[in-house]
């Protein structure tokens, strides 16, 4: 059995990746044995207890959670014995991440480490901030092991075509390239400026800004840097393909073989269009393999089951357990997981040495998916903006 596994999570040790899940484009979902989810759940329960011990122990704990501990009606150190026990916590309030001091989130056991701060969720108002030390490297090192070598060759250089600045994505993709022996070339993109253009109705300016970003990417691709792999958001991948077409070339002719992407714009319909029209066919015909991901600064990266024409390009995501767990819960009862195939809101729990977030309600909804052989825990498909917030949320800005 193979699943995301992290060792050294005990007190005083840093979390380092061992192995992760192969995710070959040729593989098909397989029947899950009863033992696989049970073993994954046992690992999750043990990991939960160790994570709680770390964040709530006076010698290693996070100042934020040590302060919250006195307000709780239970003792996390003695009463959290499994993942399900995390329901004792009230839902995590995202406003707790807005404003400072940001060091209240740094565990005492990691206080001597260099700390990054990344913005997460939303592109207006006071940013929500998440501290990080090595989590972003661990997340993307694990993800690296899922990439098929045929399309993501070791040593290849990368293009990062997405949000930059204080967002972790830029550094994470750069680490991914370096972890695989390559060099990452990044373009500038400020999503907060994009949102301002949209809200002001300056669509001509928005189009020019998008062209500015695509021009940067086209220039880098044509500069002889031997780039074979890239990250891009769906909208920017589409714009890049069309921009190259206007110049009489294509991604394949520019040497790109492997792409990973993510976001709520990543739908089966867009995937079908992208693979069949923009790329020129499936990997065996076009030479380009694209893997969807669903993630954020709190979660890390949720990989997808294979996305093929045979399964109508359905995209099912599986969180990187035990470091993070996603559940699809009832819209009104957030402790109640919906049935398989039913629709609910996405609830995230983050369980790393650096960061503990129980029951964070995402701004997304989707359908609950059953475990499958390489990811023996629940997944989610059809990810889209939560319908009760959709009217007030600007999505797909890049």
Most confident residue range from 91-105, 254-268, 328-342, 381-395: 328-342
How many angstroms separate the first and last alpha carbons of the chain? 38
Q: Which of 303, 263, 237, 266 has the alpha carbon at shortest distance from 393?
A: 263
β-pairing verdict for 5-7 and 16-19? antiparallel
User: Crossing angle of helices 203-221/234-246, nearest 10°?
Assistant: 70
Residue labelled with tokens 């009606």: 73
Range in 4-13, 86-95, 164-173, 191-200 the model is least confident about:
4-13
Residue labelled with tokens 């999505």: 395
Do 177 and 183 form a contact (C-beta atoms < 8 A)? yes
Most confident residue range from 9-18, 148-157, 186-195: 148-157
Q: How far is CA 19 from CA 6, 14, 219, 325, in A?
A: 8, 16, 36, 18
Query: Residue 20: is its pLDDT beyond 70?
Result: no
pLDDT for position 6 = 31
Range in 88-97, 118-127, 198-207 the model is least confident about:
118-127
pLDDT for position 245 = 94
pLDDT for position 265 = 74
The first and second tokens of residue 196, run together, are 């301002």
pLDDT for position 396 = 47
Do 379 and 305 form a contact (C-beta atoms < 8 A)? yes
pLDDT band at 28 (very low <50, low <70, confident <90, very high): very low
* Residues 182-205, mean pLDDT to the nearest whole number: 88
pLDDT for position 392 = 53
The first and second tokens of residue 17, run together, are 């990746």
Q: What gap in Å lies between CA 116 and CA 133, rounded to an integer?
A: 6
Give me the domains of the chain, ranges plus CATH numbers.
Answer: 5-392 (3.40.50.12780)
pTM assigned to the model: 0.85
pLDDT band at 112 (very low <50, low <70, confident <90, very high): very high
Identify the burial level of 203 via C-beta atoms within 10 angstroms of its C-beta, where 0-12 means exposed, 13-18 middle and 19 or more buried: exposed
pLDDT for position 4 = 33
pLDDT band at 76 (very low <50, low <70, confident <90, very high): very high
Torsion sign across C-alpha atoms 300, 6, 4, 151: positive
pLDDT for position 307 = 85
Query: Residue 172: is its pLDDT beyond 50?
Result: yes
Q: What angle do CA 76, 77, 82 make, to 5 degrees?
A: 70
């Amino acid at each position: 059995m193979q699943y995301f596994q992290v060792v050294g999570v005990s007190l005083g040790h840093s979390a380092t990746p061992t192995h992760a899940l192969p995710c070959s484009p040729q593989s098909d979902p397989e029947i899950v044995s009863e033992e696989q989810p049970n073993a994954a759940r046992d690992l999750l329960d043990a990991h939960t207890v160790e994570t709680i011990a770390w964040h709530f122990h006076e010698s290693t704990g996070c100042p934020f959670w040590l302060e919250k501990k006195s307000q709780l009606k239970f003792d996390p150190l003695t009463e959290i014995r499994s993942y399900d026990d995390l329901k004792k916590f009230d839902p995590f309030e995202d406003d707790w991440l807005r404003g400072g001091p940001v060091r209240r989130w740094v565990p005492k056991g990691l206080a001597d480490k260099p700390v990054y701060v990344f913005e997460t969720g939303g592109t207006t108002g006071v940013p929500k901030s998440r501290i990080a030390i090595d989590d972003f490297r661990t997340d993307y090192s694990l993800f690296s092991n899922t990439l098929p070598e045929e399309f993501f060759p070791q040593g290849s250089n990368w293009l990062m075509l997405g949000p930059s600045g204080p967002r972790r994505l830029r550094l994470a993709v750069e680490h991914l390239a370096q972890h695989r022996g390559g060099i990452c070339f990044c373009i500038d993109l400020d999503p907060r400026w994009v949102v301002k253009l949209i809200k002001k109705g300056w669509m001509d300016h928005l189009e020019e800004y998008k062209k500015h970003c695509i021009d940067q990417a086209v220039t880098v691709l044509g500069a002889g840097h031997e780039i074979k792999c890239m990250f891009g958001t769906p909208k920017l991948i589409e714009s890049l393909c069309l921009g190259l077409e206007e110049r009489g070339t294509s991604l394949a002719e520019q040497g790109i073989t492997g792409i990973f992407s993510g976001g709520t714009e990543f739908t089966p319909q867009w995937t079908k269009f992208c693979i069949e029209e923009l790329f020129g066919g499936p990997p065996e015909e076009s030479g380009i393999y694209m893997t969807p991901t669903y993630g954020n600064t709190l979660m890390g990266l949720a990989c997808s089951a294979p996305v093929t024409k045979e399964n109508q390009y359905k995209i099912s995501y599986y969180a990187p357990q035990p470091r993070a767990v996603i559940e699809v819960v009832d819209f009104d009862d957030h402790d109640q997981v919906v049935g398989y195939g039913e629709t609910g809101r996405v609830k995230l729990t983050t369980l790393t040495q650096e960061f503990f977030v129980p029951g964070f309600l995402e701004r997304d909804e989707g359908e609950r998916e059953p475990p499958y052989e390489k990811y023996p825990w629940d997944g989610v498909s059809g990810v889209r903006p939560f319908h009760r917030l959709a009217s007030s949320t600007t999505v797909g800005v890049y």
